[in-house]
Chain A
């Protein structure tokens, strides 16, 4: 062994000057994936983690394509984000909800000819303190999501008050090492002040309630190994429109992170009743690339 240590010593002597790594340095999967609103998190719930793998001396970025297919709707999301020094995350997302089944009730009930809803979301998240792996009290972040309808006709007709709105978020995330069967456990909690109906796709505020309300969101995941994370998410929702009840969301997910460049997330989602259509369950699939 000694001669190998000598070779090592020589290599150290020849060590090159520092150069920035091609892709960020944070540990695998600690950037989460891209949520349907663009911010880093799981699928439905944002986490305190910032996207990509940028650590404190690095830039990073993400691109994501996601699709949710429930009984009567399909949602497509295209998202992108940048992360500076694992301090600030800026994200954009465009959501398109195909109304499939709802088209008929909109036509019959409201005389509206519309088959999709579109929304743009611009998000910013700041890591306030801590690190998800290294801090005993976990990582804390604050965020905003500014959301704007691209066509307000349908939300307007069903009683929404505004075509744009801003969600304010406070999140905490912590990885607990060797917590269950020696596997690492990731826990996240988010408080969101919001007026958004169905995340904003049905506008903001309504006839039943037009004020901000604070909603609780949470998720837990277990790292089976460093490439596989399985878990569940829950997202409480406001109920602002008398036109239809709005239910909380939840999902069961599995994320595969073969390396830093790629993350694939699949989930069983339950969105409850959405705009008069009952019990919307379905599949969610998301691809994320990091650079």
Chain B
């Protein structure tokens, strides 16, 4: 578990920096609120934005993982997976799929799930948990549906049909 230490501190440092930058920007924003909110209302948020960008998706995936752990229909399938890597790959995948600036670097869906004999029951369970995770993060019905629409074509690969 030692190799986790380095990214942890780098991540933390980056977060602190981002927080500081955020405060700095917030200060400026207070002076220039009007033009900023104008640009926001003029452009339709993209699906990626509606999902809270990469940080929002990372939270959704984390909540999804908690739901999976508690879900006796599917948690046995996930026994022994590298959680950090799975989290990063799934987040990148959803980010890329929703039009965000990420590159998914994991395996193809068919390869990744090839030996799991995933049943329809298990696929449904995971889909349910994803929907619940999005709900927990306040994602609207429309954005949920648009993401699901892009995920559904993966069904035959994941179920190895």
Chain A interface residues (CB < 8 Å from chain B): 1-6, 8-9, 11-13, 15-21, 25-28, 55-58, 86, 131, 133-134, 136, 177-178, 181-184, 223-226
Q: Which of A13, A16, A27 contacts B128 (CB 8 A)?
A: A27
Q: With contacts A15-B78, A25-B121, A56-B121 known, is A8 near B72, CB below 8 A?
A: no
Interface: B148 (CB within 8 A): yes
Contacting residues, chain A, for B79 (C-beta < 8 A) = 12-13, 15
Expressed in whole angstroms, the Cα–Cα distance for A28 and B13 within the complex equals 42
Contact B141–A182 (Cβ < 8 Å): yes
B56-87 CB contacts (< 8 Å) to partner A: 58, 62, 65-66, 69, 72-73, 75-76, 78-84, 87
B76:A15 contact, CB within 8 angstroms? yes
Closest 9 CB pairs of A and B: A182-B142, A177-B149, A15-B75, A55-B121, A178-B145, A56-B120, A9-B83, A134-B155, A11-B69
Determine the chain B residues whose CB is within 8 A of the CB of A224 once the complex forms. 141
List, in ascending order, chain B residues with CB within 8 A of A15's CB. 69, 75-76, 78-79
Contact of B7 (CB < 8 Å), options: A2, A18, A136:
A2
A178–B151 Cα distance when bound, in Å, is 12
Which residues 1-42 of B have a CB within 8 angstroms of A? 1, 4, 7-8, 11
In the complex the two chains form, is B83's CB within 8 Å of A8's CB?
A: yes
The reply on B94 being an interface residue by CB < 8 A is no
Q: Looking at the assembled complex, report how far the CB atom of B137 sits from the nearest CB atom of chain A, in whole angstroms.
A: 14
B152 touches A134 (CB 8 A): yes
| B1 neighbours in A (Cβ, 8 Å) | 6
Q: Majority SS of interface residues in chain B? A: helix
User: Shortest beta-carbon distance, A29 to chain B, in Å?
Assistant: 12
User: When A and B form their complex, what is the total count of cross-chain residue pairs whose Cβ atoms lie within 8 Å?
Assistant: 111
CA A20 – CA B119 in complex, angstroms? 13
Quick check: is B124 within 8 A (CB to CB) of the other chain? Answer: yes
Are A5 and B121 interface neighbours, CB within 8 A?
no
Q: Is the CB of A25 within 8 A of B128?
A: yes
Other 7 A-B pairs with CB < 8 A, given A8-B69, A182-B143: A1-B62, A2-B4, A12-B80, A15-B78, A27-B131, A178-B148, A182-B142
Most buried by A among B82, B84, B143: B84
- By beta carbon, the residue of chain A nearest B135 is A226
Q: Does B97 contact A (CB under 8 A)?
A: no
CA distance A21 to B155 in the complex (A): 22
Closest to A227 in B: B141
B111 CB–A CB distance under 8 Å: no
A67 to B66, alpha carbons, bound, how many Å? 43
Verify if B113 is at the interface (C-beta below 8 Å from A): no
Known contacts A4-B62, A13-B80, A27-B124: A18-B72 contact under CB 8 Å: yes
For A19, list chain B residues within 8 Å (CB): 72
Task: Pick the most buried of A20, A25, A183: most chain B CB atoms within 10 A of its CB.
Answer: A25
**Contact partner, A133, options B58, B65, B146, B152, Cβ 8 Å:** B152
Residues of A within 8 A of B84 (CB): 2, 5, 9
| 20 interchain pairs, CB-CB under 8 A | A5-B65, A5-B87, A11-B66, A11-B69, A12-B75, A12-B83, A15-B75, A16-B72, A16-B76, A18-B72, A27-B124, A56-B119, A56-B120, A57-B119, A133-B152, A177-B148, A177-B149, A182-B143, A182-B145, A184-B145
Cβ-based interface call for B90 (8 A)? no
The chain B residue sitting closest to A133, CB to CB, is B152
